[in-house]
Amino acid sequence: MKKNFMYTLLLMLCSFSIFNAQTTEDKKEISIAVTDILKGFQTKNGDIMNQYVNPTYGVGVLFKSGGDLGFVLNEDVNLNMSLGYIQKVWNIRNQSPIQFDTAFEYDLNNKKWKKEGLSVQFNSNAVNAYANKFLSQYSVKDQKIFKINSNPKNVVFVTLAENSKENAPINGFRFVMTKIDGKWFLTFIDVTEHDAE
């Protein structure tokens, strides 16, 4: 009986170690990718960001216009792509360390983040939540870019929450990364905090 207990305990410890090793590896890969993506956006260097764009799925930009959710799908990140009024004043400092599994909330009324920082949320259901908010005439859930994000275990949601008086209401940067064939890719850029109207 004592022997069985020891084997069970040993098996549990080994399983836990393997799980932690995978999570540690994911954190390492994501940390590098997040740093690169933010650096690419900060320096307006699309080439840095595009090394994280999957050529099969591309990258979607989620936005709001007149209160309605919309998105455009691009083959890659082109920093000359139309982000309308946002593009002219959008700058980031990117000086915060990564905090895993911390959420930052945006105050739409005051057009600023309640707390600043850089957050990476594992097991994110963000893309499914977006898909549910589209008007019924848009069948976004059938599109490949949404389908690959349907399993939250393969999705992380990154938020760089920064408040800037001179750039308000354009503060920070949000994006989604998805694990595809064992590698993390940039799949969505989220500009939904900033309604065009």
Q: If you write DSSP's letter for every residue of 121-182 in order, what string do you get?
A: ESS--HHHHHHHHS-TT--GGGSHHHHTTSSGGGEEEEEEE---TTTTT---EEEEEEEETT
Q: How distant, in Å, are the alpha carbons of 46, 67, 83, 140 from that of 171?
A: 20, 19, 14, 27
- Determine, yes or no, domain membership for 95: yes
- Determine, yes or no, domain membership for 69: yes
- Determine, yes or no, domain membership for 11: no
Domain at 188, CATH number? 3.10.450
pLDDT at residue number 170: 65
**Number of compact structural domains in the chain:** 1
Single-letter code of the amino acid located at 13: L
pLDDT at residue number 88: 53
Give Rg (Cα) of the chain.
19
Sign of CA dihedral 56, 61, 62, 67: negative
Closest Cα to residue 192, out of 40, 68, 76, 59?
68
- Determine, yes or no, domain membership for 186: yes
- Determine, yes or no, domain membership for 9: no
CB 145 within 8 A of CB 60: yes
pLDDT at residue number 137: 73
pLDDT at residue number 70: 82
> What 8-state DSSP symbol labels residue 15?
H
pLDDT at residue number 105: 86
Burial label, 154 (beta-carbon count in 10 A; 0-12, 13-18, 19+): middle
pLDDT at residue number 42: 87
- Determine, yes or no, domain membership for 7: no
- Determine, yes or no, domain membership for 15: no
Structural domain span for residue 185: 20-195
CB 110 within 8 A of CB 146: no
pLDDT at residue number 101: 85
pLDDT in tens, the chain (197 residues): 544 444 444 444 444 333 333 478 999 999 999 999 999 988 888 899 999 999 999 999 888 777 788 888 989 988 776 655 455 556 788 889 999 988 888 887 887 888 999 999 999 999 999 898 887 777 888 899 999 999 999 999 999 998 876 656 567 889 999 999 999 999 999 887 765 55
